[in-house]
Structures are given as structure tokens and as C-alpha cells.
Amino acid sequence: MEDVITTGGSVKEVIEVVRNLGGEVAGAGVLVDRSSGTAKLGVRTEALLTTQAASYAPGDCPLCKIGIPVVKPGSRKV
């Protein structure tokens, strides 16, 4: 179970660890799929909400244009 996926990287890592330890992964559940279904995990995946996250080139970012700093949320480095 994952809260939010964008690329699916964290879930793919967990699936790989489980398989390397001899486990079988039946599927993955996520609360929010921000990839709009494009994150391919290699197992059945169910999401409560599927949406597309907006991405901008640095020069096109609407927040940057009005001086609001952009931060990268997440827990990948925790």
C-alpha cells in the first residue's frame, strides 16, 4: 500500500526486494496515482484516485514566474 505514486519508483523497489527474498507480490494498492496510470509496476495496481500531475519546464513554471519558490516534497531521502 502506497499513499501517492508519480513514477512508481518506491513501489518498484519494494516489489523487487520482496521478490528477491522469495516472496510473491499479488498487487499494489495506492491512494492517489499521479501518473494517470502510466507508472507500470509489473503487478496489478488499484488506485482510489487517478490524476495527472502537471509538469513544467523551468522557464514555464507559473509559480516561478510570480516569485514563489518551488520545492520538491517527498520522503525519498528520509
Query: Which pLDDT score, from 0 to 100, does residue 76 have?
Result: 62
pLDDT higher at 65 or 78: 65
Question: What's the topology of domain 2-65?
Answer: Rossmann fold (3.40.50)
Query: Which pLDDT score, from 0 to 100, does residue 74 have?
Result: 63
Query: Which pLDDT score, from 0 to 100, does residue 31 have?
Result: 95
64 sits in which H/E element: helix 62-65
Sorting pLDDT into bands at 50, 70 and 90, what band is 21?
A: very high
The rounded mean pLDDT for the chain is 88
pTM attached to this predicted model: 0.69
Domain ranges of the chain: 2-65
Sorting pLDDT into bands at 50, 70 and 90, what band is 56?
A: confident
DSSP labels for 26-39?
-EEEEEEETBTT--
